[in-house]
């Protein structure tokens, strides 16, 4: 404790004492090696401080033993300060490394997420969206064709039915007119003697029969070329018709019966054709309805998938933007962290270099103050003063 008190008093005295004209004393000192060492030592504040403290100690106590102990103690304090600085720096460096590792890991993960989502977007979602657009376009064309086929089938069926209605009406009218003509002719047969070659007929009867036959002729003319032979035969009979001639009357009846049978067969065929056309139309309608159901369901399914893909693309794009912002933030923080670390490292290195320089100066000073030439130098300074 006494030594520490002495050192404190010495430091106080040093802070209050001014040593002047050092150069004059040095000029009188003949040992140029010691002189050079002292000059080098006093280039630093701490070296100058040791030399001045040595002089003060010599003046006060007449010796510098306590100074050597004090310098050693001061050196240990500086070493402790250096050790503390290094310990604190290790903590700072460890914290920095941990932050760098964490930020780098987060940045790498963000970059990985961005690349992964971009791959999903560009190699899966967008190509599939384009594919779905093509599929939907194709299905829309099929739906349009299906609708057109429905219209064409309905139009064709309406045309068939209209033709059927017209044909059956004409056939029915023809049969009715033939039956009327046959009834009139049958009445003529009944009115006379069945053995007579000629039949008595009134003008009214003749007019009715003639009118009925002309109507039959008009009906058959509308039926087309397949009835041309009947039409021609009816025309010939009408032109030479003599209602009194039983033979001619028989020929007309035979002709009308043959014509009636032919028209009846045609009417029957028309009904069968109509039933067949109805059935074929029904099958076609069922086919088109089934196709429409398939097309509509496929369109709905693919459209829903496209909607889902559109939402997914939006989510992925948002994810990419978010992770890009995260990546930039991590990189900025990492850059700031490294910049701060570099600045702190420079400060630390400067402190360590300064402290190590102080220790080196103290080591040189401690070595110097223990040499006899230095004691001679101090005594010379004290004597000169």
Other CB atoms within a 10 A radius of the CB of residue 203 amount to: 7
State yes or no: pLDDT of 23 exceeds 50. no
Residue 256 lies in a domain: yes
CA separation, residue 326 to residues 112, 118, 241 (Å): 12, 16, 111
The whole domain housing 180 covers 134-311
What would you measure as the largest C-alpha separation in the chain, in angstroms? 199
Residues 6 or more apart from 40 whose CB is under 8 A from it?
47, 364
Q: Which residues pair with 198 in a beta bridge?
A: 245
- Closest-CA residue to 216 (of 203, 231, 201): 231
Q: What is the pLDDT of residues 124-153, one digit of tens each?
A: 999 999 999 999 999 999 999 999 999 999
Q: In the predicted model, what is the mean pLDDT of the chain?
A: 82
Q: What is the pLDDT of residues 93-123, one digit of tens each?
A: 999 999 999 999 999 999 999 999 999 999 9
| DSSP-derived 3-state class of residue 346 | helix
Residue 361 lies in a domain: no
Q: What is the pLDDT of residues 243-300, one digit of tens each?
A: 566 777 787 788 889 888 988 999 999 999 999 999 999 999 999 999 999 999 999 9
pLDDT of residue 9: 37
Task: Name the residue with higher pLDDT: 344 or 239.
Answer: 344
Based on the structure, what is the number of domains in the chain? 1
Rounded to an integer, what distance in angstroms lies between the CA atom of residue 116 and that of residue 325? 16
Residue 343 lies in a domain: no
| DSSP-derived 3-state class of residue 245 | strand
Residue 354 lies in a domain: no
Report yes or no on whether pTM surpasses 0.85.
Answer: no
Residue 205 lies in a domain: yes
In sign, the C-alpha dihedral spanning 135, 137, 138, 143 is positive
pLDDT of residue 141: 97
pLDDT of residue 29: 42
Residue 26 lies in a domain: no
Rounded to an integer, what distance in angstroms lies between the CA atom of residue 319 and that of residue 315? 6
Task: Name the residue with higher pLDDT: 219 or 161.
Answer: 161
DSSP string, 120-153: HIIIIIHHHHHHHHHHHHHHHHHHHHHHHHHHHH
CA separation, residue 54 to residues 26, 45, 339, 384 (Å): 15, 14, 45, 16
């Amino acid at each position: 404790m006494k030594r520490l008190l002495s050192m404190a008093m010495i430091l106080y005295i040093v802070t209050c004492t001014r040593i002047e004209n050092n150069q004059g004393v040095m000029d009188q000192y003949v040992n140029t090696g010691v002189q050079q060492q002292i000059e080098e030592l006093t280039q630093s504040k701490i070296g100058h401080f040791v030399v001045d403290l040595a002089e003060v100690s010599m003046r006060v106590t007449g010796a510098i033993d306590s100074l050597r102990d004090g310098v050693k103690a001061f050196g240990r304090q500086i070493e402790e300060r250096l050790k503390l600085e290094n310990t604190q720096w290790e903590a700072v460096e460890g914290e920095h490394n941990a932050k760098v590792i964490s930020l780098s890991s987060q940045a790498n993960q963000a970059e990985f997420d961005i690349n992964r989502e971009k791959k999903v977007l560009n190699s899966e979602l967008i190509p599939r969206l384009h594919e779905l657009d093509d599929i939907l376009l194709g299905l829309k064309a099929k739906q349009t064709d299906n609708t057109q086929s429905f219209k064409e089938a309905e139009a064709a069926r309406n045309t068939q039915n209209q033709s059927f209605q017209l044909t059956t009406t004409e056939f029915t009218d023809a049969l009715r007119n033939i039956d009327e003509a046959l009834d009139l002719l049958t009445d003529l047969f009944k009115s006379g003697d069945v053995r007579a070659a000629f039949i008595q007929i009134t003008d009214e009867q003749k007019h009715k029969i003639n009118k009925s036959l002309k109507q039959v002729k008009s009906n058959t003319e509308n039926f087309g070329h397949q009835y041309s032979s009947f039409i021609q035969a009816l025309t010939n009979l009408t032109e030479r018709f003599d209602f009194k001639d039983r033979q001619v009357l028989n020929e007309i009846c035979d002709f009308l019966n043959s014509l009636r049978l032919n028209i009846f067969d045609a009417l029957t065929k028309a009904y069968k054709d109509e039933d067949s056309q109805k059935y074929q139309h029904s099958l076609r309608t069922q086919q088109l309805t089934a196709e429409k159901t398939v097309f509509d369901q496929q369109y709905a399914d693919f459209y829903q998938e496209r909607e889902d893909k559109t939402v997914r693309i939006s989510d992925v794009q948002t994810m990419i933007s978010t992770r890009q912002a995260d990546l930039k933030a991590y990189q900025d923080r990492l850059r700031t962290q490294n910049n701060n670390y570099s600045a702190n490292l420079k400060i630390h290195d400067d402190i360590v270099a300064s402290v190590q320089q102080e220790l080196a100066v103290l080591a040189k000073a401690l070595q110097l103050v223990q040499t006899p030439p230095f004691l001679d130098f101090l005594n010379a300074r004290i004597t000169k003063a």
